[in-house]
Structure 1
């Protein structure tokens, strides 16, 4: 049997796409050249050497087809990571294969003589079947006994077509080894005719393609897993969006307060998604008319993304609304929300601002939990309100949240926001980004115009996180 130098090499790092395209083109050209040699090869019935040369050409064509397929998968970005289960399967199956070495160590030849019942196997074929040469080769009648039951009809059909109809053999089947292992073999062959044109024997080349098929199976399974995960991620994203839209205020733009002007506030808000639409977080904003004629204003942000964050946000916002309607002050509201997070089955961290505006006195009472302070714009100048003490929600238990009070004047603009609005690429926040809008906010006639100004300046940039902005303009 001709020898062949080992073609095994350490796996290189994934090349650039242009390099992969060049390799694909070279593989196609080489495949065409080998195929031309195969077609030009003249096979003499009584010349095993020429039959072997033709079989090698057939094998090279199959190898190049496999290579072209693998390069195409690499170019198209098919997932290549192997799961722990797949890696275990690969390790176990590799142990049952011939030792790594030359390509020909996984290729063997056989000839079954129909006139003398003689069977000739190459040494490599004995190794592939896991048999000792002294045990003898398998006849065509014995060969199906080592195949998986479901593959036996395929082999019978291929052999029959070859011997009866003179058709070439080209197919795959799986064999069981004496140690319980399994291999996948690719078989190509053809009938050998006598002088009268009758089939005298059948000659075949069998190639062990176990590793190749297993690799294809793992790639296909990984691709299917990635597709299922992508579908699950889309479904979760859709559910998170629907939950968020169901919980956040149904109004878009200005808040339609009953008895326009009775609350003394013109209010508008907006939710701004992150630069990646997949990151639906736990940000919220809300404005709620209260039974005593006041108005509750709040913004907040919970850690995390997806359904866990939006469901936790829904729980907190519902509790906050209930306590505000019941007349609980902003500081006490923060304390109760902290306890609620602490008792939750899924603990989280969050920041929040809660304000209560009394239109009769023009007083704003507010508290915060590790959140950026509201910005007050008056006479074309903006400044953050001095923040009362308050730690992040969920950070520690038994915390008392202070509250502060500020008098608002007609024409004042109050801006509440989550930190995603002013977060920079280095993940720091820059409140000056909003304070610089003071002249434009002073010229705005409505809260909705103020929100539009903020969105025009800060809402179009790609953000690392989602954000909310709530604007309250004190009316005369």
Structure 2
């Protein structure tokens, strides 16, 4: 090692004891509060946000434990301080104790991983505390390591760093403050933080070097967990935003271009006044599988359909686009609702990607005001007439994709001028909950008279927008003219 040179450094004054006791009390109290939060934090392995929060709590507890140990040592001072006739020396480090009286001396805890050492450059004597032997995994009978021997236990990539900070301390009088990895005799790699200063004799020459070393492996592990959890959370958020954007783009490309209301111009006085709305979930994140659709067919009839597919995100949106395209094509070809659902069921049954569909498909003939409809595991249409509402008798039909060769019953009803039909996906009434359906039917008095379809749809959304729901929903309102 290089020869000791002068290192003129002022000797720091110890803090007042009362101040130290106040800091220790505050640290203990804060540590207890953070630990209480940590114990109350339930970790879900599938929830990245919870893992990140728990990792932050663990890191905070480790850091407060370290801070408490350091404050205890500062409060204790140097137990074997120099006498009045001893030569003036620089700051000394007392061998670390077990820490606070209310915490056990656990070698695996941050409090048990603090050791001290002093290397006397004049006599070549080396003094290690018992804790330092534990940190390095070295038997006390093997004796301490000199400054020349110390790099032999340091991870090869970090040996140059250790040499540099020790050299700067001895030659330039710089304080030591760095960390490096050591390889213990048992093969375990630990991260050690080293702090120290040169000790000057009465002539101002470097007489020895003291250092405090602490095993910060668990602290660094906690920090890595926080970083990894945060990075994972950021990636999940980025993926979620990208998925939401793709779902919105698919819906924008596939669903009807009209928003709010639509007047069908070719159907005469009995034409339908239409309005449709989307009711999002509390998170406002679209699932991608729900739709509503209205289309004037070549024979003058009007196709009305609402539905939803299982699943979420881009997969559900792409399946919805496929199904809605097939539905429109068969409706334009003149296939009636019951038979149409049978073909859609066969399509989903043979699809490579298993999916279930809840669909209501209907045709309205303005010449006769006949409403023909069929459903596949879907809520029945609601008919509002004369200020009261009722659900139409459900036609038989299982979910699309649930079984092969399913047949779907078709029903029809003669409508009157001023009648109002409400078609909705099951997310609006929480999977067909009777209480939610009755709540929807109770809106009958508000949806009679001269109210437009747009006003009726707005009333429904206003009534149900505050409800907590797991799925988003679509609602379509059709008022018969004439």
Partner of 1:52: 93
* Cα displacement (A) at 1:148: 2.4
Q: Is the 8 A contact 2:69 2:99 kept in 1?
A: no
Distance in 1 between the 2:366 and 2:467 partners?
Answer: 36
Q: Is the 8 A contact 1:281 1:303 kept in 2?
A: no
Alignment match of 2:475 (pick from 446, 451, 469):
469
Per-residue CA deviation, residues 137-171 of structure 1 (Å, 9 max, x unaligned), is 33222322322233223212221222112232222
1:455 aligns with 2:451: no
Distance in 2 between the 1:165 and 1:202 partners?
Answer: 13
Q: Which structure exhibits the higher relative contact order, with contacts defined as CA atoms closer than 8 Å and separated by 6 or more residues?
A: 2
Distance 1:47-1:56 versus aligned 2 partners, 3 A rule = farther
Per-residue CA deviation, residues 5-27 of structure 1 (Å, 9 max, x unaligned), is xx9x9x7663679xx9xx99xx7
Partner of 1:66: none
> 1:255 aligns to what SS in structure 2?
strand
1:283 aligns with 2:290: yes
Partner of 1:372: 379
Aligned length: 423
> 1:274 aligns to what SS in structure 2?
coil
Q: Is the 8 A contact 1:34 1:60 kept in 2?
A: no
1:207 aligns with 2:248: no
* Cα displacement (A) at 1:361: 2.1
Per-residue CA deviation, residues 288-335 of structure 1 (Å, 9 max, x unaligned), is 110111110011122232222222222211111111011111011111
Distance 1:336-1:212 versus aligned 2 partners, 3 A rule = same
Distance in 1 between the 2:243 and 2:90 partners?
Answer: 62
Distance in 2 between the 1:383 and 1:104 partners?
Answer: 71
Partner of 1:435: 441
Q: Is the 8 A contact 2:263 2:272 kept in 1?
A: no
Distance 1:339-1:448 versus aligned 2 partners, 3 A rule = same
* Cα displacement (A) at 1:254: 1.8
> 2:352 aligns to what SS in structure 1?
coil
Partner of 1:115: 122
Distance 1:60-1:232 versus aligned 2 partners, 3 A rule = farther
Partner of 1:82: none
Distance 1:159-1:243 versus aligned 2 partners, 3 A rule = same
* Cα displacement (A) at 1:117: 2.9
Distance 1:354-1:15 versus aligned 2 partners, 3 A rule = same
Alignment match of 1:407 (pick from 408, 414, 417):
414
Alignment match of 1:381 (pick from 351, 375, 388):
388
* Cα displacement (A) at 1:250: 1.3
Distance in 1 between the 2:113 and 2:457 partners?
Answer: 71
1:14 aligns with 2:38: yes
Distance in 2 between the 1:177 and 1:33 partners?
Answer: 25
Per-residue CA deviation, residues 113-132 of structure 1 (Å, 9 max, x unaligned), is 22233333334323322233
Q: Is the 8 A contact 2:191 2:217 kept in 1?
A: yes
Distance in 2 between the 1:427 and 1:244 partners?
Answer: 27
1:268 aligns with 2:268: no
Aligned pairs (5 A) from 1:59-458: 100=107, 105-259=112-266, 261=268, 264-423=271-430, 430-458=436-464
Distance in 2 between the 1:138 and 1:359 partners?
Answer: 98
Q: Is the 8 A contact 2:96 2:115 kept in 1?
A: no
Q: Is the 8 A contact 1:257 1:263 kept in 2?
A: no
Distance in 1 between the 2:304 and 2:112 partners?
Answer: 76
Give the TM-score of the pair, scaled to structure 1.
Answer: 0.78
Per-residue CA deviation, residues 328-355 of structure 1 (Å, 9 max, x unaligned), is 1101111111112212222122211111
> 2:212 aligns to what SS in structure 1?
strand
* Cα displacement (A) at 1:49: 12
Q: Is the 8 A contact 1:409 1:474 kept in 2?
A: yes
Distance 1:440-1:126 versus aligned 2 partners, 3 A rule = closer
Distance in 2 between the 1:60 and 1:48 partners?
Answer: 26
Q: Is the 8 A contact 2:396 2:409 kept in 1?
A: yes
Distance in 2 between the 1:305 and 1:427 partners?
Answer: 22
Per-residue CA deviation, residues 354-376 of structure 1 (Å, 9 max, x unaligned), is 11111222222111111111112
Q: Is the 8 A contact 2:113 2:135 kept in 1?
A: yes
Q: Is the 8 A contact 2:151 2:159 kept in 1?
A: yes
Partner of 2:13: none
Q: Is the 8 A contact 2:89 2:202 kept in 1?
A: no
> 2:422 aligns to what SS in structure 1?
strand
Distance in 2 between the 1:223 and 1:247 partners?
Answer: 36
Distance in 1 between the 2:110 and 2:468 partners?
Answer: 52
Is there any run of 5+ residues in structure 2 with no aligned partner, and where?
1-27, 42-56
* Cα displacement (A) at 1:448: 1.8
Is there any run of 5+ residues in structure 1 with no aligned partner, and where?
1-6, 62-97
> 1:280 aligns to what SS in structure 2?
coil
